[in-house]
Amino acid sequence: MPTITNHMPTAELQALDAAHHMHPFSTQDGFRKKGARVIRSAEGVWLTDSEGHRILDGMAGLWCVNIGYGRTELADVAARQMRELPYYNTFFQTTHVPAIALSAKLAELAPGDLNHVFFAGSGSEANDTNLRMVRHYWSSLGKPEKSVVISRLNAYHGSTLGGASLGGMIPMHEQGGLPIPDIHHIGQPNWWAEGGDMTPEEFGIARARELEAAIEEIGEDRIAAFIAEPFQGAGGVIIPPDSYWPEIKRILEGRDILLIADEVICGFGRTGNWFGSQTLGIQPDIMTIAKGLSSGYQPIGGSIVSSKVAKVLAEDEFNHGYTYSGHPVAAAVALENLRIMEEERVIDHVRDVAAPYLREKWESLTEHPLVGEAKIVGLMGSIALTPDKASRAAFAAPAGTAGFITRERCFANNLIMRHVYDRMIIAPPLVIRPEEIDILIERAWQSLDESMARLKEEGLLKAAA
Ligand SMILES: *Cc1c(COP(=O)(O)O)cnc(C)c1O
């Protein structure tokens, strides 16, 4: 076999990819027919593929490249750390400077008494940690029956057994016998799709009260924790009605139930604060982190744990950990990422420049005939595609048909915008500039036009009965 390089013809790379590489969340046969897009390099918010196209990355990779591509400082730090100490574990009463420095930094950034960090290699692993941690916490307090974790339908908490069970994605549960026991799902605060005749405010309260009803039904003495993304990401960037989180807060107040905020997407500036919990004014007991922690330059995740929980866990051995917990290269890169975020005031840029600018342009997309609602918080946004705005109708075609066609048009117009069923979503690098936002919106509008024409042509612009 010849050495596989960037210089091979795209078709050859695609053939090898289809033959040997199993892709996550993909239909493998699709690659054999069409071939995967081969990404070769990237700079700022721009990707370059093997055909030389410059593509605007409206998704920051997978919601992770918060400081943008091409930051050589991170490469330098990684190389330096690899030369000095490429690996050592943090089991057996051992530690190293990158893990110490990163945990101290995260304790400083995280709100309230979230002062302790348990490292993992990813967000999924971190949520597995959280599941075991909250159950062990209650067990240590003499309440082993408090093992139920309440989550939400259409939540995303990762793809491991624990993560996918906590998540509320039915197509994931259907493969592999999930969820595991003692996970309970309540409804999501997705007013556009599920709000019926209620106002958004009424619906937000109603969905929050499903938590209260679940607690009453299952019994507080059986419940360990409630887990939620501050703003659902992979579920379609669902921004809850303003009434939702205050009601959740009221319900949890004074109850012996831990709150886990899954900040894997919302953390590290995405919503205009360090954490989505701060944007919402909630104080979780545990926060899940990954993605933007290292801006995706290294795989690393973790759980930031409150002193209240950490104190109980400290009393005996927690039989849990990963070979790569606190990996020195990943930790050093994450630390450098956070240093750059602070030095370059990236979150100020989000809050004062990029988010207000994007909000105005994004909301103007509702003027397009195919777009029902446009929602946005910080630099994560979604639009709902619909054949009939007034009734908030879904399409008669299977869910995701219109979304998929629109995503294809975006690809063709060199814009990465993802679809979740028939919602289109964006989460660009936080460093995106106003003139790049203009290009994003132009390409989105163009793609919507083309998608609309296709849908009309194929008779798909029809509302579900
Ligand atoms: C991506 C994501 C995860 C899973 O993280 P991985 O690093 O892919 O394991 C968990 N929770 C949320 C909210 C996510 O968006």
Mutate to test the pocket of ligand 1, among 122, 152, 264 (most ligand atoms within 8 A of CB): 264
CB 427 within 8 Å of CB 356: no
Residues of the chain with CATH 3.90.1150.10: 37-67+345-457
Q: Kindly give the number of the ligand 1 atom that is closest to the alpha carbon of 159.
A: 9
Residue 464 backbone dihedrals phi, psi, to 5 degrees: -65, 145
Q: Kindly give the number of the ligand 1 atom that is closest to the alpha carbon of 160.
A: 9
Alpha-carbon distances, residue 143 vs 100, 138, 221 (angstroms): 32, 5, 8
Q: How far is the CA of 264 from the centre of ligand 1 (A)?
A: 6
Token pair recorded at residue 206? 């109603």
Name the CATH topology of 37-67+345-457: Aspartate Aminotransferase, domain 1 (3.90.1150)
**Which segments of 56-190 does DSSP mark as H helices, in order?**
60-63, 72-84, 97-109, 123-140, 161-166, 170-173
Report which protein residue has its CA nearest ligand 1's atom 6.
123
Buried b (16+ CB within 10 A) or exposed e, 67-84: bbbebeebeebbeebeee
Which tens digit of pLDDT belongs to each residue from 78-96? 999 999 999 999 999 999 9
pLDDT recorded at residue 29: 79
Q: Residue 444: helix, strand or coil by DSSP?
A: helix
β 223-228/148-152 pair status: parallel
**Which segments of 232-364 does DSSP mark as H helices, in order?**
244-252, 276-280, 307-313, 328-343, 346-349, 355-363
Least Cα distance to 163 among 146, 180, 186, 144 occurs for 180
Whole-angstrom distance, CA of residue 274 vs CA of residue 283? 13
Whole-angstrom distance, CA of residue 275 vs CA of residue 291? 13
Q: Residue 458: helix, strand or coil by DSSP?
A: coil
pLDDT recorded at residue 465: 83
DSSP 35: -
Q: How far is the CA of 328 from the centre of ligand 1 (A)?
A: 21
Q: How far is the CA of 305 from the centre of ligand 1 (A)?
A: 18
pLDDT recorded at residue 1: 66
Q: Kindly give the number of the ligand 1 atom that is closest to the alpha carbon of 121.
A: 7
Report which protein residue has its CA nearest ligand 1's atom 5.
123
Report which protein residue has its CA nearest ligand 1's atom 14.
264
Token pair recorded at residue 138? 């209650």
Buried b (16+ CB within 10 A) or exposed e, 138-167: bebeeeeebbbbbbbbbbbbbbbbbbbbbb
CB 422 within 8 Å of CB 405: no
Q: Kindly give the number of the ligand 1 atom that is closest to the alpha carbon of 158.
A: 4
Residues of the chain with CATH 3.40.640.10: 73-343
Whole-angstrom distance, CA of residue 296 vs CA of residue 39? 16
Whole-angstrom distance, CA of residue 208 vs CA of residue 210? 5
Q: How far is the CA of 369 from the centre of ligand 1 (A)?
A: 33
Q: Kindly give the number of the ligand 1 atom that is closest to the alpha carbon of 265.
A: 15
Whole-angstrom distance, CA of residue 232 vs CA of residue 93? 37
Q: How far is the CA of 393 from the centre of ligand 1 (A)?
A: 30
Q: How far is the CA of 139 from the centre of ligand 1 (A)?
A: 27
Q: Kindly give the number of the ligand 1 atom that is closest to the alpha carbon of 124.
A: 9
Paired with 381 in beta bridges are 376, 426
The DSSP line for 324-347 is TTT-HHHHHHHHHHHHHHHHTTHH
Q: How far is the CA of 147 from the centre of ligand 1 (A)?
A: 22
Whole-angstrom distance, CA of residue 348 vs CA of residue 353? 8
Q: How far is the CA of 174 from the centre of ligand 1 (A)?
A: 19
Pocket of ligand 1 (CB under 6 A): 122-124, 127, 156-158, 229, 233-234, 262, 264-265, 290-291, 301
Give the right CATH number for 73-343 from 3.40.50.720, 3.40.30.10, 3.40.640.10, 3.40.50.2300. 3.40.640.10
In a structure prediction context, what are the per-residue pLDDT tens digits for the chain, which is 465 residues long? Answer: 668 888 899 999 999 999 999 999 998 877 777 899 999 999 999 999 999 999 999 999 999 999 999 999 999 999 999 999 999 999 999 999 999 999 999 999 999 999 999 999 999 999 999 999 999 999 999 999 999 999 999 999 999 999 999 999 999 999 999 999 999 999 999 999 999 999 999 999 999 999 999 999 999 999 999 999 999 999 999 999 999 999 999 999 999 999 999 999 999 999 999 999 999 999 999 999 999 999 999 999 999 999 999 999 999 899 999 999 999 999 999 999 999 999 999 999 999 999 999 999 999 999 999 999 999 999 999 999 999 999 999 999 999 999 999 999 999 999 999 999 999 999 999 999 999 999 999 999 999 999 999 999 999 999 998
pLDDT recorded at residue 414: 98
Q: How far is the CA of 234 from the centre of ligand 1 (A)?
A: 9
Q: How far is the CA of 465 from the centre of ligand 1 (A)?
A: 35
- The answer to whether the predicted template modeling score (pTM) of the entire model surpasses 0.95 is yes
Whole-angstrom distance, CA of residue 103 vs CA of residue 302? 10
Q: Kindly give the number of the ligand 1 atom that is closest to the alpha carbon of 234.
A: 15
Q: Kindly give the number of the ligand 1 atom that is closest to the alpha carbon of 266.
A: 13
Maximum distance among all Cα pairs of the chain, rounded to whole angstroms? 66
